[in-house]
Amino acid sequence: MRRLAFTVPAVLLAGITFTGAATAPRPGVDWPQFRGIAAGGVAEGFSLPTSWDTVKGTNVAWKTPVAGLGLSSPVIWGDELFISTSISGQKDAGLKVGLYGNVEPVQDDTEHEWRVYALDKKSGKVKWEKSILKAVPKIKRHTKASHANSTLATDGERLIAFFGSEGLYAFDMKGNQLWKKDLGVLDAGWYVARENQWETGSSPVLHEGVVVVQVDVQENSFLAAFDAKTGAEKWRTPRTDVPTWGTPTIHKVGGRTQVLVNGYRHAGAYDFETGKEIWKLGRNGDIPVPTPVVSDGLVYITNAHGPMSPVYAIKETATGDITPAEGATTSEHVVWSVPKGGGYMCTPLVYRDHTYIVTYQGILSVFDAKTGERKYQQRLLENTASAFTSSPVANDGKVYVASEDGQMIVLKAGPVFERIATNDMGASVLATPAISEGRLFVRTQGMVMAIGAK
């Protein structure tokens, strides 16, 4: 594909230091972690299709089968796409999508196999696949989870995989293992009923040769940083939080790099070099999943379980305990917030001056990113039983968001609701898509496919 010249939006550059090929992801080309560069979910410079047909192959460049449960998202560096999976020993792995309230874990004590795949981004051909481990999982999983929930991270030199209780791994770009860290048995589940194990879900991030992982579990939660070359631990900061599933975000403020995290008792920021706390926010939903997102000086955090479902827009320069007073929607460091309507599973999208929040039930709320004024609220699908886990992404003035039952909705970005198309992916979608050089890379159950010109 021909590469075009373009202006890089500020949101894509947040927290990125361009110090060399291995640590300088190229906007519009590389998608190095969950939700791409700085978790922004945006890739400009090319235009994606708005409609396609996965059966007839219209605007479908390729499809490649991938064994196991498809929950971790694709990551891309250059012309390579990487994906992880966990394969149950049972023919029916027990995945259940849709809206329901069951909390019991899947009963599956068969031997599982964890794999990492590298695909050619242009053709979908499998370049290599690596069997990482064969074992009975140490922790059970939710019926809407796998044992490979976490998205990989790469800097063009290394590939980082986090499989919870099965370990933190580093590979070179050919799949050769460089090191492994055993972080112990990581029991992430419902803190109210601890027998309900749900598996970990936070993904690793890789920045300037350092791997950062957020490990919020039933006991001894922590945030930690490791040397990407050797696996040596640089620092570990204890957290007094219950299990959470959000991925950290790296962001630089005035020359100081921060690690932003979601949380129930403790959403906030830590110093990237030392792990020292910078600020904290304590009034949140009690099962936080979305990742923090930064745009134009504001940090956006949302969560939605239990009595709280807030959306917060926080100054990037915040310090100390910034929790608003009871009944207040702002504070010295909180520019705006709403107490209800936040996202349970989906990470926010901040795009072209608007903040997009998708609820688990498929209700989209769009706010003015600076003021918090709600522009509109709209149900995305008529099927009220459909759930939304995949997070929205954006390109060329369009927003893409997929339901669990495989409907990819394309919207015109802006303050007025305008549906451009709804496309059937042919299988359930829980993973967040990746965008690179004019193609949308979508992981469905059993498949990775590239939407775009052949």
The sign of the dihedral angle between the CA atoms of 42, 44, 46, 48 is positive
Tell me if 49 is assigned to some domain.
yes
- Whichever domain contains 234, its CATH number is 2.130.10.10
Q: Is the pLDDT of residue 6 over 50?
A: no
Tell me if 364 is assigned to some domain.
yes
15-20 average pLDDT score: 37
Tell me if 37 is assigned to some domain.
yes
Supply the DSSP symbol for 10: H
Q: Using an 8 Å Cβ cutoff, are 192 and 218 in contact?
A: no
Tell me if 4 is assigned to some domain.
no
Q: Token pair for residue 291?
A: 């990742």
Q: Structure pTM? A: 0.94
Tell me if 5 is assigned to some domain.
no
Q: Is the pLDDT of residue 311 over 60?
A: yes
- pLDDT for 121-165, tens place per residue? 999 999 999 999 999 999 999 999 999 999 999 999 999 999 999
Total count of domains within the chain = 1
Domain that holds residue 248: 10-451
Tell me if 3 is assigned to some domain.
no
Tell me if 2 is assigned to some domain.
no
- pLDDT for 347-371, tens place per residue? 999 999 999 999 999 999 999 999 9
Question: Residue 42: what are its φ and ψ, rounded to 5°?
Answer: -125, 140
Q: Using an 8 Å Cβ cutoff, are 280 and 321 in contact?
A: yes
Q: Residue written as tokens 């995305």?
A: 380
Q: Is the pLDDT of residue 15 over 90?
A: no
Tell me if 118 is assigned to some domain.
yes
Supply the DSSP symbol for 280: E
Per-residue confidence (pLDDT) for residue 22, from 0 to 100: 57
Question: Residue 166: what are its φ and ψ, rounded to 5°?
Answer: -85, 0
Q: Is the pLDDT of residue 11 over 50?
A: no
When pLDDT is cut at 50, 70 and 90, the band that residue 384 belongs to is confident
Q: Is the pLDDT of residue 271 over 90?
A: yes
